[in-house]
Amino acid sequence: MDVGACRLCLVEIAGSNKLVPACTTQVADGMVVATTSERLQRYRRLLLELLFAERNHVCAVCVSNGHCELQALATNLGMDHVSFPYTFPKLEVDLTHRLFGMDHNRCVLCGRCVRVCWYVEGAATKNFSGRGAGSRIISDLNQPWGESRTCTACGKCVHACPTGALFEKGTTVGEMQKDRGKLEYIVTAREKKQWIV
């Protein structure tokens, strides 16, 4: 399920000039891996700054404030400001679904919702549209989420989402706590027949 797209887990491997994403690289015998060199941490901070400048991430009014993976990464890496000009794109909030909302302003395009929708739930509702900076997460053929005929309203995408982009309706600032453990429970139960609570 890992795609190596966010580039935040890049590591250095001794003997190779190329940085590789830890999530999609198989460990090999005798491999010497550096995970937190000065250079890697600098790259990570810059990548995070790019993510923050790309969309409208305003923690103070976000449902995931305090429970956000993006926010946690920024805190852990000591990213105290964004050195790039914010692009302030004008983006929509889709509140047409009866249970969930999608705020494109907070989306980091990690694609977790798409993958969980296709490969865990099997509904294939979520997908990408556009390309480059114009990429968006869409439902079905870019319909409002509420009009989707394929969505089973299972909520897996909401709990896979690392930020407040996908949220349960009725939550306010800081109330949206994601539970990825449930998704891992389903996957290990299915694939390994292990029911780990």
Partner 1 sequence: MFGQPTLINNVETFACVPAILRRGAEWFAAIGTERSKGTKVFALAGKVKHTGLIEVPMGMTLREIVEDMGGGVPDGGQIKAVQTGGPSGGCIPAAHLDTPVDYESLGRLGSIMGSGGMIVMDQQDNMVDVARFFMEFCRDESCGKCVPCRAGTVQMHDLLCRLLARQATARDLAKLEELCDLVRNTSLCGLGITAPNPVLSTLRFFRQEYLDLLAPEPWKPATPPAPSPASADTRPQPPHPASPWLPKSSPSTVRKSAPPKGRASSRPPTRRASASPPSATWRA
Question: Which residues are near partner 1 by CB under 8 A?
Answer: 3-8, 10, 19, 43, 46-47, 50-51, 53-54, 83-88, 108-109, 111, 128, 130-135
Tokens of 128: 């990408």
Nearer to partner 1, 30 or 134 (CB): 134
Q: Kindly state the smallest distance separating residue 76's Cβ from partner 1, in Å.
A: 17
Question: Alpha-carbon distance 25 to 4, whole Å?
Answer: 9
Q: What is the signed CA dihedral for 103, 184, 153, 94, rounded to 10 degrees? A: 10
The dihedral through the CA atoms of 126, 130, 132, 133 has a sign that is negative
Q: Kindly state the smallest distance separating residue 7's Cβ from partner 1, in Å.
A: 5
Q: Kindly state the smallest distance separating residue 115's Cβ from partner 1, in Å.
A: 13
Q: Kindly state the smallest distance separating residue 63's Cβ from partner 1, in Å.
A: 20
Nearer to partner 1, 53 or 186 (CB): 53
